[in-house]
Structure 1
Amino acid sequence: MSRQARLTVSTRGRGMTDITAAVAAAVSASGVDTGVAHVFVRHTSCALLITENADPDVRRDLETLARRWAPDGDPAYRHDLEGDDDMAAHARSVLTEVALTVPVAGGRLLLGTWQGIFLWEHRSQGHARELVVTMLGT
């Protein structure tokens, strides 16, 4: 069996938005009991990740690292049509992930105790981001 859902997530600008509950709701509504949930974000300047969901310092520290990997406004960037954060956001997206897969059992995501699914906005301004959640299984 396969099912698919589209989710729209509004971000407030650079940072992480916990989407675990929204993905879990899509899985639950799908009727898939055992299988996988594949999550894909349809944009080139944000990312998806599974990371620590208990201590927000982890997410802040990841943002600090990303600023080092791809700083805004680097004079070496040629692509800056949408501002100083334009190329940095694309680079961050390439260095992170735009898709992830989570096992499903009993109609629920099999995340670890301290794991959450996050949309990581790499742009300074907020955006409406579209995600596709595809559930495959029985």
Structure 2
Amino acid sequence: MPTQQFELTVETRGRGSYELTDMLKGHVHGCGIGTGLCHVFVRHTSASLMLCENADPDVRRDLEALMARMIPDGDPLFVHQNEGPDDMPAHARSVLTGSDLTIPVRDGVLALGTWQGVFLWEHRTGALARRLIVTVQGD
């Protein structure tokens, strides 16, 4: 089973979601694998990955509002604040949302649903460079 692995860097402008779908589609297509899996892993503890609605950005705005309500910055509950009031909330958001995704590859393309997109979800408020490892394997 051929396997290809590469690292991507995504520059964020702070908290929010950043679509990776087209970038991943291009890499999967370049691998020449017809049937298999694409695994995406974010190498950080304060950002996550999500498979989400990609047609209406209000969905992602609403998810961000939900997170802000559930895990507000500066909550006195949190002891860990080494890098500021968004530090521990970013870690908690990341744990709740996940650091990896596995997407089927069919006929050489990501087998996503009509309205599905792959997003990096930045949980810190400042701009950061986020590193991802993408592994594509199959036949």
Q: What is the TM-score with the length of structure 2 in the denominator?
A: 0.97
- 5 Å-filtered alignment, 1:1-138, equals 1-138=2-139
In 2, the alpha carbon distance for the partners of 1:90 and 1:127 equals: 15
Task: Quote the sequence identity (%).
Answer: 58
2:120 aligned partner, one-letter code = L
In 1, the alpha carbon distance for the partners of 2:3 and 2:33 equals: 8
SS of the equivalent of 1:9 reads strand
Q: Where do 5+ consecutive residues of structure 1 fail to align?
A: none
In 2, the alpha carbon distance for the partners of 1:46 and 1:27 equals: 23
In 2, the alpha carbon distance for the partners of 1:55 and 1:93 equals: 23
For residues 58-93 of structure 1, what are the alpha-carbon distances to aligned partners after superposition, in whole Å with 9 as ceiling and x for unaligned? 000000111122110011211101000000000000
In 1, the alpha carbon distance for the partners of 2:17 and 2:128 equals: 12
Q: Where do 5+ consecutive residues of structure 2 fail to align?
A: none
2:81 aligned partner, one-letter code = D
Q: Considering only aligned residues, what root-mean-square deviation do their CA atoms show, in Å?
A: 0.7
For residues 83-111 of structure 1, what are the alpha-carbon distances to aligned partners after superposition, in whole Å with 9 as ceiling and x for unaligned? 00000000000000100000001110000
For residue 29 of structure 1, report the CA deviation from its aligned partner.
1.4
In 1, the alpha carbon distance for the partners of 2:88 and 2:27 equals: 32
1:98 aligned partner, one-letter code = S
Query: After the TM superposition, which parts of structure 1 deviate over 3 Å for at least 4 consecutive aligned residues?
Result: none
1:133 aligned partner, one-letter code = V
In 1, the alpha carbon distance for the partners of 2:100 and 2:6 equals: 14
The range that moved more, 60-69 or 86-95, is 60-69
In 2, the alpha carbon distance for the partners of 1:44 and 1:74 equals: 19
For residue 136 of structure 1, report the CA deviation from its aligned partner.
1.1
In 2, the alpha carbon distance for the partners of 1:59 and 1:76 equals: 26
Tell me if structure 2 keeps the 8 A contact 1:69–1:92. Answer: no
